[in-house]
Structure 1
């Protein structure tokens, strides 16, 4: 019987086949199979990996009003986004169940409950039984992301049991938002998953900060993206590449322990899975002198109220 106090994790630091849903899913399946072969029990993919981050906005004048190239690339993005209700993640769920591999996957979601035309940067949790247990739509897209992603809601601010761990996650700069973090801490989170589009400049400070604040393990997983990763058949590819740097996302995936010290320092060399085994006892050790929602809190003075209702434009009473 596996030790329930230990958890082997895989950080899937890979590039998408940019804006190609089917081909990127094939890469995800490959990483899940590789993680299973290494007996991992949780695999995490970066923000919006499926089918990729909207790099074109910064490279093609995305803020210019009614610009044809931006609108056509947005349409291409929507066509390659993920609609969970239509079965786009069914094979991911099947593999999660087959390998008993819990999965956090960053997707660009096109949900039918919001009409099926807008997209959201969503973080999906699939348990070891292959069930989608939460879909967290990013609360606040950052800067030029707002030109293509819609803001989400609190429905996905949920945590999940995994052996003796309680896991929760946030997208990119949401991890800097103190109240969403507190919402997860208050539900018993002791393994925090932070997903990023890429680069160690995002992960090198916040990962250790959250670990030290929460006295939890923190896994940061970032994607990779190189100029050579843009498919040749991408719409307006020549204009995208004209102002494109060689490296857009260098990874930086890492793990901090409950004392805020590195277990895996930001990695900018690995293309593939990064593995590590966590022991929940370290959480209890570090909570002895600080527990942000337990003995070191004052709910009689300050308390957080969270609205987890899934938002929709219409409510039908048939």
Structure 2
């Protein structure tokens, strides 16, 4: 693994500068153990480069459900599709489980805040459901953020459950406040608005890896929020599909050699590229961010400050975790 591209300052001021990176990675699809090893390798390299925040692609652990568009995923009551979903469900991780503890150890060992896209298996009443989730892991506190994608996009709704607003939060890392959204959530004006209002200065968008999809919205988010916008995108080749996946042969036959080509990038608060989208190979995209640029650009536009109109527009964000059932316990004799 190597550094693919970077935007480094000759003499960064630690009082106003933070170094961030996007890990543009692939690896065996739906193999959490193999991908955790690659994640750890990326963290080791990032720490050596002075990175403080390291972001990984959407559902990097265990993988994006790309079989749906290539194997007639909407066929109702189809035995093969049921088998695919069961395989995918078994590959998902539980928040609070051993994978989270391993991520916390990586964050602590290397002094990194990690933003990691995971395929999350629900617990309790949702143990048969999968969420597209973005975890924020800090060296000091472990799990600091647990955001479930608000609306799965198009065919994703066949396998991902709807999330909620509990994770629409930002987190302090050194001099910066950072936040993040999954894939097409980055197109949702209200979701972006919630993070801007929570003081976001560095916005991370996680993507499965389609540069033509992530390019425009990364620059737009930077310009709209007057924030630094970082796209963390994945790589996937058909060779990464395991042989025992129920529709492996059909999936390979109906896919390009590299279904996901990356596109990780970094845009400045004025919408200019610090690092243009990088495609087709694995590695780190690194940038030193001078946070003073955020203040300079907000002279002309601050979307939740002097350019808001709370007398005209009312915005409420419900940040409670939503569950299907709430059990009210009585006495043991009831």
Q: Would the TM-score normalized by the shorter structure come out above 0.5?
A: yes
For residues 226 and 190 of structure 2, what CA distance do their matches in structure 1 show? 16
Q: Which runs of 5+ in 2 are unaligned?
A: 1-11, 330-334
Partner of 1:172: 183
Q: Relative contact order (C-alpha < 8 Å, sep 6+): which is higher? A: 2
Whether 1:218 aligns to 2:229 is yes
Cα contact 2:73–2:81 (8 A) shared by 1: yes
1:28 maps to what in 2?
Answer: 39
1:271-301 Cα distance to aligned partner (Å, 9 max, x none)? 1111111111111111111111111111111
Residue number in structure 1 paired with 2:272: 261
**Corresponding residue to 1:126 among 106, 112, 137:** 137
Of the structure 1 ranges 176-185 and 112-121, higher mean CA displacement relative to structure 2 is found in 112-121
Contact 1:16–1:49 (CA under 8 A) maintained in structure 2: no
CA shift, 1:130, in A, is 4.9
TM-score, structure 1 normalization: 0.96
Structure 1 residue 88: deviation in Å?
2.0
Structure 2 residue 192 is matched with structure 1 residue 181: yes
- Aligned mates of 2:161, 2:152 — CA distance in 1: 7
Task: State the alpha-carbon separation in 2 of the partners of residues 111 and 148 from structure 1.
Answer: 12
Structure 2 CA distance for aligned equivalents of residues 36 and 194 of structure 1: 21
Give the structure 1 partner of residue 9 of structure 2. Answer: none
Structure 1 residue 236: deviation in Å?
A: 2.8
TM-score, normalization by structure 2: 0.92
The answer as to 2:85 corresponding to 1:85 is no
RMSD: 1.5
Secondary structure of the corresponding residue to residue 57 of structure 1:
coil
Moved over 3 A (4+): none
- Compared with structure 1, are the counterparts of its residues 114 and 44 closer, same or farther at alpha carbon in structure 2 (3 Å cutoff)? farther
Q: Which residue of 2 aligns with 1:190?
A: 201
Q: Report the counterpart of residue 241 of structure 2 in structure 1.
A: 230
Structure 1's unaligned 5+ residue stretches are none
Pair 1:108–1:114, CA change in 2 (3 A): farther
Q: Where does residue 240 of structure 1 map in the other structure?
A: 251
Determine if contact 1:16/1:50 at 8 Å carries over to the other structure: no
Note if 1:271 corresponds to 2:282: yes
Q: Deviations over 1:49-89 (max 9, x none)?
A: 11111111111110111111111111111111010222321
